[in-house]
Amino acid sequence: MSRLLLHFSSSPMANGDDSPSSADPSQQSQYENSERYMVGFIIANIVKTIFTSMLHFMVEVINSYMLSQVLMATISLRRTKEKSLIGLPPKTVGTCYVELSPEERQLNDHMEGEAKGLVMLTFLLKFKRNNLSLLLS
């Protein structure tokens, strides 16, 4: 009658010479009919099964995410290549000159300066945020 001895170790094997010494056949008798040994074997198989199924699940999630990204990129590329579904009227530009009084001109210049400052501040903050996110990633 042949017997199979499985050996579990908490430390990795350093080289091939460690393998026979760790599973010494003279110590085989302590494993015979051992419930603790069988429980350990069953738990190890359960852990392996759970880990394998988790790994397969993560691979499926990543693959589905990548597939959705590729699909979205393909759809957006098609929309830029295809002709538009509805025809828009041609763009028209009209210019109108208005005479301003000195007070109105001063108020207009003040409002224009504030708007330029807000736009510059927005660009600077966006630039800093993008650089910070680039550094953090």
What tens digit of pLDDT does each residue of 114-131 get?
988 888 888 787 766 666
Measured in Å, how far apart are the chain's first and last C-alpha atoms? 60
Is the pLDDT confidence value at 2 over 50? no
Helix (H, G, I), strand (E, B) or coil at 13: coil
Say whether pTM exceeds 0.85: no
Q: DSSP H helical segments within the chain, as ranges?
A: 18-22, 35-81, 102-136
Question: What domain range is 59 assigned to?
Answer: 1-83
Distance CA 58, CA 53 (A): 9
The pLDDT value recorded for residue 103 is 92
- Count of structural domains within the chain: 2
Kindly state whether residue 54 falls inside one of the protein's structural domains.
Answer: yes
Let me know whether 17 and 47 are in one domain. Answer: yes
Whole-number CA gyration radius for the chain: 36
The pLDDT value recorded for residue 106 is 92
Kindly state whether residue 111 falls inside one of the protein's structural domains.
Answer: yes
Let me know whether 11 and 67 are in one domain. Answer: yes
pLDDT above 90 coverage of the chain, percent: 5
Distance CA 92, CA 14 (A): 79
What tens digit of pLDDT does each residue of 19-42 get?
555 555 555 555 555 555 566 667
Indicate the average pLDDT of the chain: 68
Distance CA 12, CA 19 (A): 10
